[in-house]
Amino acid sequence: DEFKDSTLRERYLTFNQALFNGYAQFIPRVVRFAAESTARLAEESDTAFERRLRSKAIDVCRYLLPASSLANVGITINARSLEHAISKMLSHSLSEVRAIGSEIKTAASASIPTLLKYAEPLPYLDAMEAQFSPISPLILGEAVPWFKLLHYDTDAVDHLLAGVYYRYNPDPHTSYESSLLTVQQMSPAQKEVLLRPLLNDRERHTIPLRELEHITFQFEATLDQGAYYEIKRHRMLTLTPRPLTTHLGYAVPRLISDAGLGNEYAEFMNQAEQVYSDLEETSPEAASYVVPNGFNRRFLITLNLRSAMHFIALRSELNAHFGVRRLALKLADEIESVIPGICSLLPRCLEESVESIEDQYFSKLE
């Protein structure tokens, strides 16, 4: 609905279809190349080998898919959270989001009409945008790195151990201040003895103590949109994204280049920049629907230590997408550089590094 001009609407539809066609055409070509360069595993059947090749191809060809790609989502949600979600959707600038919010409200009201009574557009959100969007940004002279740790607790080890000691100390007169002083008088060796079982000596699926949530980190990252999609699924963190645009460059998977498709891929990306530019003046948010997953997006994340441990352990594994593994290992490296007493004990995949991922899986990152 945002592109009422027939020329813009046709340009939007035509380019989206071109990206879908390109994605479909790239997959078999990448599969053929991968078949020649990928070693078959011992006792691997033809079906399993073909499935593995196709998975590799999809992992890189997805960089062509635009944000307009349809997806299914299933949600388990309580009434209070649903009411808030509907209110946000009804307040959205895109007509599509408002329409979906209205449909969800109609469907849910049949079961819980009283609980959704206040699910209405929120003037508060419009007021915040009106207040902050006109402020002129301070332009920094230096380039923004793809990852930057912005905030961390410099006394994280002491605060963590003090929190656990505060929980388990049987003295009824214990305070947090006395717990912290007790920990601060310990030697580094004594602290490590307490840290190891707390962070590392537990079974794989045992969730660590909640006291880890007292330690927080904040970082900013710039990753391709495909990787961002996967990261936003982690709900045990606070995520603030910047709008999806074509202004931060794009990533090129090495397998695309090695398969001889680099020039065609670059042509799609160059076209995306032009089409986005043409549509942006009418509606920046609707224009983002033509942006392929390969383009970079910047976002801000605040998370606690328990969430960081979960994210690093899960997303640094080799079965995670390489774009997300890069972030998980970078986060681990950065935390370790500022709080070595904690991060050296975190579960993480040790078979690769940020540098090896960049070298093996990317021929261009921005």
pLDDT at 140 over 80: no
pLDDT at 6 over 90: no
pLDDT at 210 over 80: yes
Q: For 221-257, what is each residue's pLDDT tens digit?
A: 999 999 999 999 887 899 999 999 999 999 999 999 9
Band the pLDDT of 343: cuts 50, 70, 90: low
Q: For 30-77, what is each residue's pLDDT tens digit?
A: 999 999 999 999 888 999 999 999 999 999 999 999 999 998 888 899
Range list of H helices, the chain? 6-37, 46-61, 79-90, 95-109, 123-132, 156-168, 176-184, 188-199, 225-231, 254-258, 262-280, 284-287, 305-315, 322-338, 340-343, 354-361
User: Which pTM value belongs to this model?
Assistant: 0.92
Alpha-carbon span 27 to 12, nearest angstrom: 23
pLDDT at 139 over 80: no
Band the pLDDT of 1: cuts 50, 70, 90: confident
Percent of the chain with pLDDT over 90: 77
